[in-house]
Amino acid sequence: MAASPILDGIRILDMTSVIFGPYCTATLAEMGADVIKIEPLAGDEIRRVGRPAKTRGMGPAHMTLNRGKRSVVWDLKTPRGKASLLRLLARCDVFIHNLRRDAIERLGLGYDAIRALHPRLVHVHCTGFGEGGAYAGRPAYDDIIQAASGAASLLPRADGNPAPRYLPMAMADKVAGLHATYAVLGALLHRERTGQGQAVEVPMFECFTHFLLQEHLYGRALIPPTDPAGYPRQLDPLRQPLRCLDGYIAVAPYTDERWVRFFDVTGHADFLARERLCTARERFHALDRMHAEMARIVADRPLRYWLTLFAECDIPASEVRDLDGVLADPHLASVGFFERRTHPSEGDYLQMRAPVRFHGARAAEVSAAPRLGEHSEEIDDWLREACNEPR
């Protein structure tokens, strides 16, 4: 029999909302953690994003971001709600929230207060900007972080339109959510080794800027700088999907050997000789010309011709799909990435399989996203029983 899920037995009290924190805790739930989501009376805002199938507060974004969790509604401003929360915290391994520091302190749930009651607790603060910085305490959303980090300046550098633009996804939120995920796992490993919990701060601005500048710091990584910031390969306006006769294709020869092979198998080896691109170094400094020629070459034949040829010749290529087209991807179908399931109240829905597999550990059974307050009574009863309290 396979071993238990990788985080089996880990209980997480989740007081996060929208995308940043919920993406982290959904990922932990997929690894087998028991995630108990504490929601305000109106519920997490993400519940109201998109049109629900049947029930108010069960929007499609909630269905993906809060999968695998249990929902509890307690009024933390009342003595009863606060007492219930503290009893639950005493039985949790991780407390994760995205309230501002002054708000969490007013609730009496700051790290120093909680540590006195539960020294083994991992206390994770998902915040916009790190403590001690000039922006500490300010509210932060994905748009703000994309603007402040430089991300909104990237598309203008690639396409020549000078207007700054957001990358059309909640990228900063999700990147920060993955940083929060490894932060939780690292803190749990630290506790395993030392017996002590700790406070963990996960600031979205710093997380996303760290992510963005891995390649885009570029020449500014050296002192004095050898080049401006911005990785030229990523900002090349010619490095885009290419039009063929009946659609668009992405082609990435990338290595010098594959570039040479591309021109050879397409019948245009003479281009390299004509342009005097006889060495790898000469070709590296002429990527713009090679991209332009590649665009001219693929425009003359249909998509399937190129996909078949490039697959036979080991040249990376892909059809350019829209979002709906991804749902029919044959690779994702063969690995069971999308699974059709039935929600108790909302009917059929698609669930994505966790992308990371732990061989030797059983995959967790991920429950459907909960209705607001669905598990309040269940958790109340469990706490009363655990504390030997009468009903």
Best CATH choice for the domain 242-319 from the list 1.20.120, 3.30.1540, 3.90.550, 1.10.287: 3.30.1540
Structure-derived torsion over alpha carbons of residues 170, 320, 299, 280, reported in degrees to the nearest 10: 70
Helices and strands per DSSP (H, E), number in the chain: 18, 11
Which regions in the chain score pLDDT beneath 70? 1-2, 389-391
pLDDT tens-digit map of 12-66:
999 999 999 999 999 999 999 999 999 999 999 999 999 999 999 999 999 999 9
Radius of gyration of the chain (CA): 25
Parallel/antiparallel/unpaired status of strands 317-319 and 247-251:
antiparallel
Q: Where are the domains of the chain?
A: 11-212+334-386, 242-319
Q: Tokens representing 75?
A: 């009024």
Q: With the C-alpha atoms ordered 298, 304, 306, 307, is the resulting torsion angle positive or negative?
A: positive
Q: Are 121 and 93 in contact (CB under 8 A)?
A: yes
- Nearest to 286, CA basis, from 319, 263, 307, 266: 263
How much is the pLDDT for 337? 96
What does the alpha-carbon distance between residue 271 and residue 259 come to, in Å, rounded to a whole number? 12
How much is the pLDDT for 3? 84
Q: Which helix (H) or strand (E) holds 384?
A: helix 376-386
What does the alpha-carbon distance between residue 184 and residue 298 come to, in Å, rounded to a whole number? 47
pLDDT tens-digit map of 138-186:
999 999 999 999 999 999 999 989 999 999 999 999 999 999 999 999 9
* DSSP character at residue 197: -
- Name the 3-class secondary structure at 282: helix
* DSSP character at residue 236: -
Residue type for position 160: G
Q: Tokens representing 162?
A: 């000078």
**Taking the model in full, what pTM does it have?**
0.94
In Å, what is the CA distance from 390 to each residue of 58, 76, 381? 34, 22, 10
How much is the pLDDT for 386? 82
What does the alpha-carbon distance between residue 339 and residue 234 come to, in Å, rounded to a whole number? 34
Assess whether the region 11-212+334-386 and the region 242-319 belong to the same CATH fold: no
Give the CATH H-level superfamily of domain 11-212+334-386. Answer: Crotonobetainyl-coa:carnitine coa-transferase; domain 1 (3.40.50.10540)
- Residues of the chain with pLDDT > 90, as a percent, come to 94
